[in-house]
Every structure is written in C-alpha cells, then in structure tokens.
Amino acid sequence: MTEHVLTELHDHTLTVRLNRPDRKNALTHEMYTALGDAMEQAEQNDQVRCVLFCGNEDCFTAGNDLGEFARGLPGAFRETPVGRFLFLLASATKPVLAAVNGPAVGIGTTMLLHCDMVVAGNNTRFLMPFTNLGLSPEGGSSLLLPDWLGRVRAAELLMLGDAFTAEEAKAMGLINRICPPEDTENQARVLCDRLSAQPPAAIRATKEMLNRATRDSLKETMLAEGERFAERLQSDEAAEAFAAFREKRKPDFSRFS
C-alpha cells in the first residue's frame, strides 16, 4: 500500500483518492498497484456498489511520473502495475465514477473513458500529450475515441495533443456535468448514492450490455497499445521529449525520420 492512494468505503461507495499533491498526483508504479488493488477490492466486496475516483480541488492527475516511466515498464504490459489497473478498470462490473478538477493529463483523461459517469470542475483541463512525448495512445483511447467522436476529431486530440476544457469535453460527450471545483466531489457522490440505491444486479447487467459491443476489441486494442507504448518509452524520440521536459525546454524532433 501507499499513502499516495487513499481508499474509504462509505454508504456502498468505495472512494479512491489520488493523494500526491506535491507532484500533482503524478502516478508511479506503486500507485498503480494500489489502484489495481482497489479495483479488486471493489469487485470482491458485496458492500461496494460504486467506485469513485477523485483527486483534490486543484488537480486530478498530471499523468504518469515521467522520471519513473522514462526507465521503461517493469515487464510485459499486461502484468505491469499500469497494465493490471487498466484491464481491471475496463472489466469492472460495478459503476465507476470520477470527480475531476484541474489537470487531467494522459491516463488522467483516458481512464475516464472507462468511467460510467464523470463530473468535472470548471477548472479542469484535459490533455492526452502522448505524441508530444514521443509516445502513443493507451487505455483503449485509440479505439474508444474514434468510435465515440469520429476518426478526424479523435486524430486531432491524439496526434496534436492539445488541451481541452471541461466545456469542450461535455460538448464531445466525454463528461456528464460541470460545476465549481469545490462541488465536483459532492455532485459525484450524489450520483453514487443514486446508483447505490438502484437494484445492484440490474445496474451490473446494464453496464455489461453497454460494454458488450466493444468488450473483446477493447481488450485486444489495450494490449496492442500497451505493447507499443512500452516500445515507445525506449525510443530516441521519447528520450528527447523527456530530456526537454527535465531541462524545461521545447523538444527538437527535427533530426528524426
């Protein structure tokens, strides 16, 4: 366990809180292990009817800890902490919600594609900067985003890696509600309470049907994405991007072909 991921079960909702504010909740392998453990706990505990991911009023997550991920992934993707968490999240049988504020970078955006409902603060900025870092998409985003938004809009988000606002995310159908940052968690909990009051087997059956069309293709895509992501972490382009990040300069990809 780690103090950087806190869990609490109350009124049938398992709250999973990212708690590394000094690093903008940047995710480490240890944190991914704790996130995966929380998802397993939710599946195994009959008292859990909802899972709620949150950070704080200022930040959801700045994405992966680049200092750690620059060294590569510890093993085959499916067995790594990040791979384990993503597959557990994608296969969750109970409702998963998120209360999001501030930066939601990389996995901070793609993990929301597996949430059933998302409440975002009006200070939220979503960002999938994979190509900017010499990397490639993860979390099933290369399948789900084109399916939901159309290929050209998905290509713009994934290839250019520009940030977009909560208002833009809502217009694209990626989140449910926008509110002041101090209200996001409370509004998400209202949704959790409503879901927890519903017949639990009926909710699980509905979620299963919602996911049925992409269930098999999503697993295949996530595995392929994970393997390519691991390769890209070892690329010269990623090395240049990470060095530029450390040195606080703009990366130079002009020498690559």
Dihedral sign, CA of 26, 31, 32, 35? negative
Q: Is 194 buried (19+), middle (13-18) or exposed (0-12) by CB count in 10 A?
A: exposed
- Give CA–CA dist 29/16, Å, rounded: 16
Domain assignment present for residue 127? The answer is: yes
Total of domains in the chain: 1
Provide the pLDDT for residue 1: 67
Q: Is residue 134 part of a domain?
A: yes
Q: Closest Cα to residue 16, out of 26, 28, 5?
A: 5
The model's pLDDT over 19-58, given as tens digits with 9 standing for 90+, comes to: 999 999 999 999 999 999 999 999 999 999 999 999 999 9
Q: What is the CATH number of the domain that holds 175?
A: 3.90.226.10
Residue 65 covered by a domain:
yes
Q: Rounded to whole angstroms, what are the CA distances from 241 to 21, 65, 161?
A: 24, 14, 14
* pLDDT above 70: residue 194: yes
In this prediction, what percent of the chain has a pLDDT beyond 90? 98
| Predicted model pTM | 0.97
213 Cβ contact partners less than 8 Å away, ≥ 6 residues apart: none
Is the model's pLDDT at 155 over the cut of 80?
Answer: yes
Distance CA 187, CA 183 (A): 6
Percent of the chain residues topping a pLDDT of 70: 100
Instruction: Domain of residue 26: give its range.
Output: 1-180+200-257
The answer to the question of residue 188 being in a domain is no
Does 187 map to a domain? no
C-alpha 222/C-alpha 139 separation (Å) is 6
Residue 190 belongs to some domain of the structure: no
Tell me, yes or no, whether 241 lies in a domain: yes
What's the CA gap between 55 and 6, in Å, rounded? 10
Residue 216 in any domain: the answer is: yes
Pairing of strands 117-121, 164-165: unpaired
Measured between alpha carbons, how far is 133 from 69 in angstroms, rounded to an integer?
Answer: 12
Rounded Cα distance between 182 and 185, Å, is 7
**DSSP secondary structure, 42-61, as one string:** HHH-TT--EEEEE--SS-SB
* pLDDT attached to residue 82: 97
Residue pLDDT, tens place only, 84-109? 999 999 999 999 999 999 999 999 99
